[in-house]
Amino acid sequence: MTEPVKIHRLVSRPQFLAAAKGVSQARGAVVVQALRRSDGSDHIGVGFTATRKIGGAVVRNRAKRRLREAARQLLPLHGRPGDDYVLIARMGTAERSWDRLLDDVRSALTRLATPQGPDAEARRSSPISGQGPRGPGAAQDDGTE
């Protein structure tokens, strides 16, 4: 019988900032950021955040409670051991139907778990990809003609 995956909470600002340097997926009412840790541990790290743009304290707290429950249900099934995840509430997270919110989180986690190209693993583990926002070899607009 396999042991359940341990889930640890991200609590410090540097942990959240590190996850922000990884890859992210926006799906419906949630954005999920992921970063492969290099500490050799196989637990899953998870943190939650909601900005003031989505509403007042009551709305933000409701959105984070819903994201916590969605993560509790879905991370053991769809999360990768050794990764840190940050779930960011978007407009509508607090009001979205529960089934749709679960679908959004599941879709984002599944997409983050599947490689998207030959150098996807290098991008997941390295906070700096070495490429500009338009990809390798793209012309940069520096304002000169």
The tens digit of pLDDT for each residue in 16-30 reads 999 999 999 999 999
For residues 118-133, average pLDDT: 49
Band the pLDDT of 72: cuts 50, 70, 90.
very high
pLDDT over 80 at 83, yes or no: yes
Q: Which residue has the tokens 């012309």?
A: 139
CA 16 to chain centre: 10
Ramachandran bin of 130, using left for φ above 0, alpha for ψ from -120 to 50, beta for the remaining angles: left
Q: What is the pTM of this model?
A: 0.76
CA neighbor of 70 nearest in space, from 35, 42, 96: 96
Structure tokens, 4:
């359940």
